[in-house]
Amino acid sequence: MYCLQWLLPVLLIPKPLNPALWFNHSMFMGFYLLSFLLERKPCTICALVFLAALFLICYSCWGNCFLYHCQDATLPDAAHDPAIIGT
């Protein structure tokens, strides 16, 4: 499970509050995962554990799914702050 230590931080990096940065964040995470899978070639068990965790987080809309924003999920209160969105 050595290779899993490089995949778990992907699930813990928070999604940006500014909705304009969500596309950039998802592209960065996608390219990181693709380059990791091509370069390090993690074992099958680690890849399956990570994909199962990613699927559960994205399917339940609980947490930060970096692939898309769930329609039913509410934005944090700080997302409506003009000081944050203007930056």
Q: What pLDDT is recorded for position 40?
A: 86
Q: Per the domain annotation, does 8 fall within a domain?
A: no
75 occurs within a structural domain: no
Judge whether 68 lies within some domain.
Answer: no
Helix (H, G, I), strand (E, B) or coil at 16: coil
**Is residue 48 a part of any domain in this protein?**
yes
7 belongs to a structural domain: no
- What does the pLDDT look like over 26-35, one tens digit per residue? 889 889 988 9
- As given in the structure block, the two tokens for residue 22 are 């969500």
For the chain, the domain total comes to: 1
Domain range enclosing 43: 35-63
The sign of the CA dihedral 8, 68, 86, 76 is negative
In-domain check, residue 58: yes
Asked if residues 16 and 45 have their Cβ atoms less than 8 Å apart, the reply is no
Predicted model pTM? 0.67
35-73 pLDDT per residue, tens? 988 888 888 888 888 888 888 888 877 656 777 666 655
The verdict on residue 44 lying in a domain is yes
